[in-house]
Amino acid sequence: MTNDCAAKELKKFLLDIDCLSMLETNSFSIFDVLKISRAEIRHSNILAWILNPNENHGYSHNFLARLNSYLAREGFVSEKDVFKLLTMKYSDIVVLREWQNIDILIESKEAKYVLCIENKVDSQDHSGQLDRYYKIVEDRYQDYTKIFLYLTPDGIAPLEDSHSVWGCIKYETIVSIIEMTLDKIPLDSDATKFIRSYLEMLRRETMDNHEIVKLCQEIYKEHKVALDLIFENRPDRQLNVSEIFKAWCQKKVEDKIIDWDEEKSSKSYIRFRTPFMDGLIKKSAGMSGWNTHNHYYYEISSYCDKNDDVKYAIQLSFNSTNLETANRTQIEEIINYLQPQKPVKDNWQWRTAFKCPTAIVKSDEILPEDFENGNDIFSALDKMLDKVLKMEKDLQKHFLV
């Protein structure tokens, strides 16, 4: 496209800039007035009230029962606990807020059931809190069916979950569960109006709004060329940070510590292998899900959050596509050794078996102009690599002695 054509399309878009005003919302919400639409504590208070069968909303245990049904259906509990979850009584349910700092804890002594919910809206877990909560609950409820939910707008994985017990769930799922209950048991009450207003606020603040999506598609259709130009030339912080990851990998290749696979890397996943793991897991004749003969990669996994912070960590990932029996057995033994609390299922395909604590490049942090060793990102990756090599020494003792 010539510069004149590009300028013409951008001018057309700017002359029609009022089309973007339709994306603004002026709908009234009591939650906005009270300034709690992004407040985790207030969300937890309302969710605890909704899920409590003993509260005065008029829906008894139905919200919690439908949530339990979803958890049973979607594999959040073991096979032996599915029937228990679907048939349990709710006569002695107790809902606790901030017990031992856990956002929401729901227990039934009769059913020997406990549900922990850690709620995050504009933040993530920190300071090993999830591992701490897990230990507290394990010690207190030793013979109970225990479910740990990590609730976020996007369903992202926690930064630190060394026991691999926290199941990820999105606000969208919670909204659907509550709405289905409201539709199934129609009540014309102030409590119902309050809940529906809350769901509308959740949908606007934490989920995709289908009407907005449709409007965006119409605007894009009318101004496709101009918007594509803007998008192509937008600042891409994650891509810039990924270039530093690649420079770090190149240095480690020169030091003969890793084997970086540049062709299988992207801005979200920088993939490499190590001599030790190459020796432990032989290449297969069949092609993996990465379209390679190796069925593992270390990955520098990264994403950009809503605040434009780039979060990243080194993780060990496996794929089972076209694995020969011997290699499959070896990989499954490694996974079960690294994550004994989360053994592999027979039909597994992708699995992350090891992950370093996540590091963050803040949105206001100035990226280094050169990639010399010693910058903060290099240092953080070096610390992660030390954890990887320590883990490999542990595997060596276990599998090669």
> DSSP for 16-76?
TGGGGGGG------HHHHTT-TT-HHHHHHHHHHHH-TTSTTS-TTHHHHHHHHHHHHTTS
**β-strands 145-152, 113-119: how paired?**
parallel
> Is the CATH number of domain 237-399 3.30.70?
no
- For 196-221, letters b (16+ CB in 10 Å) and e give eebbebbbbbbbeeeeeeeebeebee
The rounded distance, in Å, linking the Cα atoms of 256 and 41 is: 49
User: Whole-model pTM?
Assistant: 0.50
206 within 8 A of 171, measured Cβ to Cβ: yes
Query: pLDDT 10s digit of each residue in the chain, 401 long?
Result: 566 776 777 677 677 666 666 555 545 444 443 334 445 567 888 899 999 999 999 999 999 999 999 999 988 998 889 999 999 999 999 999 999 999 999 999 999 999 999 998 767 888 889 999 999 999 999 999 999 999 988 788 888 888 889 999 988 899 999 999 999 888 888 889 889 888 887 776 665 555 566 667 777 788 888 777 776 666 678 888 898 999 999 999 999 999 999 999 988 899 999 999 999 998 998 899 899 999 999 999 998 887 888 999 999 999 999 999 999 999 999 999 999 888 888 888 899 999 999 999 988 877 766 555 447 899 999 999 999 999 999 999 988 75
Domain ranges of the chain: 30-206, 237-399
